[in-house]
A and B are shown apart, each in its own frame.
Chain A
Amino acid sequence: MWRDAALVAGKDLRVEARSRVGVNQVVPFALLILILFAFALDSDREVLTKVAPGLFWVAVMFAALLGIQRSFVIEADDDARDALRLSGLDGAGIFLGKAGAVAVQLVALEVVLAVGVIVLYDVHLRSPVLLLLTCLAATIGLAAAGTVYGIIAAGLRVRDTLLPLLVLPVLAPVLLAAARACDAALAGTPSEGWPWVRLLAVFATIYVTFGVVAFGALLEEV
């Protein structure tokens, strides 16, 4: 399973590195969200600083949607999904590989966006450990849930418009918990953030487990 996961993740990351869709489109799109909000709320610097965690995760979530869609578009071109099925790779391995590749891209995006938030929103980091664990748990949850719903939508003609409708409500708890935990981390009150991190960890565990168990069967149905 782990060998298959590494193989699929390596392939997906290589495709992204070669196509540069992430660097040329997804990252600028996410930065644009931050900049537009900065313009919109510029007159009230205090509000901007206060809502920074929520805006950061909104930008991450929309960018994640693009990344997840992209992850399945590359399999749809030239019936590559058939090649994936024909390979005999373990379904759980394919899930972990695809979710892992999405997670790696999201982490890179979060680093860029974090710099953007610090520069544009005048934010100061106070509890880095809480912040790191929040990002880790939220990223795993986003990638795992997104990959599960990505494969469900992949076989449908309306997948491009359906995926956001399916995924955004499911990811709402991640957005809420991650924003609250980051809020606590930035405010220097980590004790208020840990319960939200635990919620993120539970969410991530549920979707990773579900994906490992069900992805193979879902891939066959596409």
Chain B
Amino acid sequence: MNLAVRFRSAVSLLDRFPALAGVDLDVAPGDVVLVRGPNGAGKTTLLRACAGLVGISSGEAEVLGHDVRADRRAVRRRVGLLGHAAFLYDDLTVADNLRFAARASGSSKAAADAASARLGLDGRLRDLPAGKLSAGQRRRVALAAVVARQPELWLLDEPHAGLDAAGRDLLDELVREAAAAGATVLLASHELERAAALATRSVVMAGGQVRDGLLDAPAPSGQPASASDPGPAPAKLESAHVA
């Protein structure tokens, strides 16, 4: 099977510290995978590694059929990352930011405008400099930039953080639509209940490693593996576990 994400013993060092310490992970195309784990487990690094933003020092890392190390540019053009920062130019307007993000990734101006409208960023907001937006509005623009890129792999790091109730609902709707259209989603979140409702599968990270990351691994027996284990996911999610 062609996998959207395939990591084998992938190690990523950040200032000599192994932020990823031998990650084994399979993600099937169209899956919405919730990545759980305590702070410092390596969730953000995993998402950034999938986007080719952090180096893989050993092991194998393939995203959408491309070797992340050898073909980083091809990977980046096909993924969309919603990270902790909004990646915006403060002096540019919302519309300019979105158009630049879309065109830089090979998408169109029309896609940027459509994303802007979808996220409720039309009207007065469109022409405001990004620097004048509130934190929640910046988050919406960042999400719109991901939508405008029309990625095949969505990498969402704490995507609900900073959004208001309507924004959270809209985000969930967008993730479901993307998955229905065949996109793959990797979602790191501490808001387990909400994220679990979106996910088709869940993996747990701890100490830079992914537990139950392989699709052909035996089903987990349910026991927590260490004291840092954040505990089982909600029942609905566990029942939907692919492995």
Contacts and interface: CB of A to CB of B under 8 A. Distances in A.
Q: Which of A7, A14, A88 has the most CB of B within 10 A?
A: A88
B70 interface: no
A206 interface: no
A157 interface: no
B100 to A, nearest CB: 5
B83 A7 contact: no
B96 interface: yes
Nearest to B79: A86
Interface stretch (A28-36, A73-81, A134-142, A190-198): A73-81
B91 A85 contact: no
A1 to B, nearest CB: 12
A86 B53 CA distance: 7
Interface in B11-49: none
Nearest to B129: A18
Interface string A64-102: 000000000010011110111111111000000000000
- Taking chain A's interface residues, is the majority helix, strand, or loop, or is none over half, making it mixed? helix
Interface residues of B, number: 29
A82 B89 contact: no
A14 B99 CA distance: 13
A82 B85 contact: yes
B86 A74 contact: no
Interface of B: 51-53, 72-74, 76-77, 79, 81, 83, 85-93, 96, 100-101, 103-106, 129, 145
Given A78-B86, A86-B81, A89-B104, 11 more contacts: A7-B100, A11-B92, A11-B96, A15-B92, A78-B85, A78-B90, A83-B101, A86-B79, A88-B74, A88-B76, A220-B72
